[in-house]
Structure formats: structure tokens, C-alpha cells
Amino acid sequence: MNRDVISGHHDTAVQSLGKPTITSPVHGTTIFVDDSDRVVVDTSLAFFNRCAAGESVPLSFELAGPRRKIYFDPSKTKCAIVTCGGLCPGINDVIRGIVLELYHAYHVENISGIPFGLQGFIPSFKHPLVDLTPASVEQIHEIGGTVLGSSRGSQDISEMVDAMERLNLNIVFFIGGDGTLKAASAVARESLARGYRCSVIAIPKTIDNDIYFVSKTFGFDTAVEEARKVIKCAHVEAKGAPNGIGLVKVMGRDSGFIAANAALASRDANFVLVPEEDFDLEGPGGFLATLEKRIRARGHAVIVVAEGAGQRFFQDLPEEKDASGNVKKHDIGQFLKDRIEDHFRSLSIPINLKYLDPSYIIRSVTANASDSIFCGFLAQMAVHAGMSGKTDMLIGLWNNVYVHIPNEICMQGRKKIDTTGPLWMSVRESTGQPIMRGD
């Protein structure tokens, strides 16, 4: 994220339901933290020098972790977990981690799963609650998806809070992407407006790794690892045939982090197309001409494209939205496949093009070791925050430290690749691709 963004003016204060007065049951070698413990957002030397000179005030986040005093009485606490939006590796790991931390560290036994996303709060859908216990979640990290089910689309906030009040819930954990963060924030605000003291804690879930002010989201490492395998396969296919071309489309609606990192992990990609950098198709410097030069010189090529790249080529088509209100991306993978084949056909150059779209396979796999560990920490920190009475916030990783971030900050934008930064420069060096302009 650009330094001018992270050094801007943001309110990082986290909402609290009230003063915690109950001694935490968490014991052993636990190191308690305090709300005054902060994590500086911008750690650059230049910024610290400006602070030392009195030119800037350090922006900081509240440190996550167990508090000595908590807000809720564990013996009377009722919790719920809801998972929303698309699937992502690691959701079940987070669910399992929350349940085990609540049960074993805080001795909370009343834990429910809200089925099928936000629909589960609405009586008309008639989805029964899921009883969550250590026994019921023991093996769920070994399967993909979410054992609670999920759905897209918004629901009436007032109805959701009505349902939470009827269930007498004290803490609700929302696991989801940017749409879920907005819903969680709205639920938290409505609850506070009613005088209903319920802690609403979000754990950001997006395979695209595009949450503002969050260094990394769970599932991303797994997605990169799985995408790397597909790129390797595309490379084998491309080299195994004359004028072979492997075209791989990966997830990345508005940000190309999976495409960029998977390409760097494999080092087999010759072109990486992402939403953050525009490109032309036609002309001597365009993508098709550049690909043609590659095929003539080397006899094969591998292309990795994020699903949100090149959307300007569809600007004459009507805009459609999904149930969550997100603009549906047109299929850039199929579009490129057709245009590449047409281009080489017009030159009477035979090619062997293999188009691979592993998106739904990647998002449905189990978390890898790195993500599974990460999910466990996110779950533990979420429970600590909820039991201490925090609300309208999410657990995020920033500067390799777990922090509390107000939902509002993360809803102000979307994290994108800095095309002048080291990640994209590394992609350019690895692929050797130019800026593809037609003129």
C-alpha cells in the first residue's frame, strides 16, 4: 500500500461496549496486552524521522491479544459464527479455532453456527442453527469450504439484529469479504443504537487479498500455491507442442495479487495481466503483437491473467451485478483465447493453445500449512477481542503483528498492486514483459 495512503488521517479508535471488569480466565504463560499497546502503521525510516522532527503524528492500530479484564461473563456468554460470500481455503480452520478458543481458554460452551450466511438470521428462510462443540469441529479443517454453508446477498439489518436479540447473543463472529464487513459494521451500529450490547467481530475473508489496511488475508497463500501448480502445468503443455500457448485465468476481481505472486512462485509465466495495469490488444506494441514476437522467437508462451483484467474491452456490454451487488466481471480468459486464436489464424501461424481456469477448484481446497496456522491465530485474536467487549472491528495482520482495525477504515477502499512498487517490478523482471501499448 502506498505510503501516502497509510500515512493519511484515519480514526483508528476501536469501539468498546463498556469497561471490562471481569478477570480473564485465560492463564498459564499468557502475556496480556492493554488497549494502550499500539502498532505503528508506517514503519519507514523517513516517516519516523518526520515524527522526530515534529512534522507528523504516528498512525497506529490497537494491538490484538488477551486482556486481563474482560467484558463478558464466560459462564453466561452466548456466541455465534456466520460465514458469508464465496468459498475460500481456511474458513473451517477459522470456525474450528474460534470454537476451541472459546471453549478451552474462556470456558464458553454456548456456541452456535448461523447457517448459509446472512440468510441464517432471517426467520423466513427457516435455516436451523448449528450447534458447535469441540467434538463437532474436531476434523473440519481437513475439508474445504465451510461446514456452516454460505450465501451471497444482503439482508435487512434490522431483521438480523432482531434475530440476534431473540437468541440473546453476546458475541457474533462474521467471516467474510468487503460486503460482509459492511454488513457487520451496520449490525454493530444498529445494536449500539438499540442499547443492545453485542460484540461484533469480523475476520476478513477474501482469496484476492484485497482488504484495505490488511497485509494478508487467509486463503491467499493457499491460492497462490495452487495457482502455481496450474501455471507449471500450463508451461508443460506449452513446451510440449509446437507454438504452444498456456493461458491461465486466476481469481482477482479488482486486484491482481494472486496472479502476480503465483507468477513469481513459478517463474514460468511470460505475461501477467492484472486489473491495475491497462494494456492494448492491437498495434505494434500491443499484447497480440508482443505475444507473436515471443512465439516466433521461443516457440511457446505462458500467460497468467487475473479475472478482472482488461475489462475495458467489454465497455459496450451491459453491466450486471451479483446477489451481493458486485459488478460481474466479463470473461477475460475466454475473450483472450478467442482473440489470440483469431490473430494467429490471420497470420496463417498454427498454434496449440490450452486454456485453464482453476478458480473454483482453488477456492474449494483445504488450507495449506501456512494458512492453517494463520487461521488459528486469527481465530484466537478474534475471541480475545470479542470477550473483552470490542465491536465494529476486524482482526488484521499489519507489519507482521495482529491488530484491531475499525471496520470503517477497511471499507474506505480496496488494496491494489502498486505498479511502481517492488512486487510489480519483480513480475516485470521475471516475465520480461513490456508495457503493452499499441502505438
Read off the amino acid at residue 115. P
* Residue predicted with more confidence, 115 or 3: 115
Determine whether 156 is an active site residue: no
Domain 223-364+420-431 has CATH 3.40.50.280: no
Looking at residue 293, its pLDDT comes to 97
Q: Quick count: other Cβ atoms within 10 Å of Cβ 31?
A: 6
Mean pLDDT of 426-430: 97
* E runs forming strands in 101-148: 110-114, 130-131
The pLDDT > 70 percentage for the chain reads 93
Indicate the burial class of 422 (C-beta count within 10 angstroms; 0-12, 13-18, 19 or more): exposed
Active-site annotation holder among 93, 178, 208, 392: 208
Confidence of residue 153 (pLDDT cuts 50, 70, 90): confident
Q: What is the 3-state secondary structure (H, E, C) of 375-389?
A: HHHHHHHHHHHHHCC
Least confident of 46-60, 223-237, 256-270, 363-377: 46-60
Q: Give yes or no for residue 391 having a pLDDT over 50.
A: yes
Q: Give yes or no for residue 370 having a pLDDT over 80.
A: yes
* Residue predicted with more confidence, 332 or 316: 332
Cβ contact 111:99 at 8 Å: yes
The pLDDT > 90 percentage for the chain reads 86
Cα distance between residue 349 and residue 343, in whole Å: 9
Looking at residue 8, its pLDDT comes to 52
Q: Give yes or no for residue 247 having a pLDDT over 70.
A: yes
Indicate the burial class of 210 (C-beta count within 10 angstroms; 0-12, 13-18, 19 or more): buried
Cα distance between residue 54 and residue 169, in whole Å: 46
Looking at residue 50, its pLDDT comes to 57
* Residue ranges per structural domain of the chain: 3-217+366-410, 223-364+420-431
Burial 56-86 (b: 16+ CB within 10 A, else e): eeebebbbbbbbeebbbebeebbbbbbbbbb
Looking at residue 9, its pLDDT comes to 54
Looking at residue 168, its pLDDT comes to 97
Alpha-helical regions (H) of 58-116: 91-100, 106
* Per-residue pLDDT reduced to its tens digit, 266-307: 999 999 999 999 999 999 999 999 999 999 999 999 999 999
* Per-residue pLDDT reduced to its tens digit, 166-197: 999 999 999 999 999 999 999 999 999 999 99
Looking at residue 2, its pLDDT comes to 47
Cα distance between residue 285 and residue 279, in whole Å: 10
The tally of CA atoms less than 13 A away on the side-chain side of residue 66 is: 18
The tally of CA atoms less than 13 A away on the side-chain side of residue 282 is: 2
Indicate the burial class of 275 (C-beta count within 10 angstroms; 0-12, 13-18, 19 or more): buried
What lies within 8 Å, CB to CB, of 219 at 6+ separation is: 88, 89, 90, 91, 205, 206, 207, 363, 367, 371
Domains 3-217+366-410 and 223-364+420-431 share a fold: yes
Q: Give yes or no for residue 323 having a pLDDT over 90.
A: no
DSSP structure string for 199-268:
EEEEEE--TT--BTT-S--TTHHHHHHHHHHHHHHHHHHHHTSTTEEEEEEE--SS--HHHHHHHHHH--
Confidence of residue 4 (pLDDT cuts 50, 70, 90): very low
Mean pLDDT of 352-358: 97
Cα 221 versus chain centre, distance:
11
Cβ contact 93:376 at 8 Å: yes
* Per-residue pLDDT reduced to its tens digit, 111-143: 999 999 999 999 999 999 999 999 999 999 999
CATH level 2 (architecture), domain 3-217+366-410: 3-Layer(aba) Sandwich (3.40)
Mean pLDDT of 337-363: 96
Least confident of 54-63, 138-147, 308-317, 425-434: 54-63
Q: Give yes or no for residue 239 having a pLDDT over 70.
A: yes
What mean pLDDT value characterizes the chain? 93
Confidence of residue 90 (pLDDT cuts 50, 70, 90): very high
Mean pLDDT of 79-107: 97
Cα distance between residue 315 and residue 164, in whole Å: 43
Looking at residue 53, its pLDDT comes to 55
Looking at residue 211, its pLDDT comes to 94
Mean pLDDT of 71-95: 97
Looking at residue 3, its pLDDT comes to 46
The CA-atom distances, in angstroms, between 82 and each of 76, 130, 258, 323, 399 are 20, 10, 26, 18, 28
* Per-residue pLDDT reduced to its tens digit, 39-73: 998 866 555 555 555 656 678 999 999 999 999 99
Cα distance between residue 322 and residue 84, in whole Å: 14
Mean pLDDT of 236-254: 97
Q: First CA to last CA across the chain, in angstroms?
A: 31
Cβ contact 121:160 at 8 Å: yes
pTM over 0.75: yes
Cα distance between residue 314 and residue 331, in whole Å: 9
Cα distance between residue 363 and residue 195, in whole Å: 39
User: For the CA atoms of the chain, what is the radius of gyration?
Assistant: 24
Looking at residue 31, its pLDDT comes to 87
Cα distance between residue 48 and residue 58, in whole Å: 8
Query: Quick one: cell of 150?
Result: 454460505
Looking at residue 289, its pLDDT comes to 97
Looking at residue 49, its pLDDT comes to 54
Cα distance between residue 358 and residue 246, in whole Å: 13
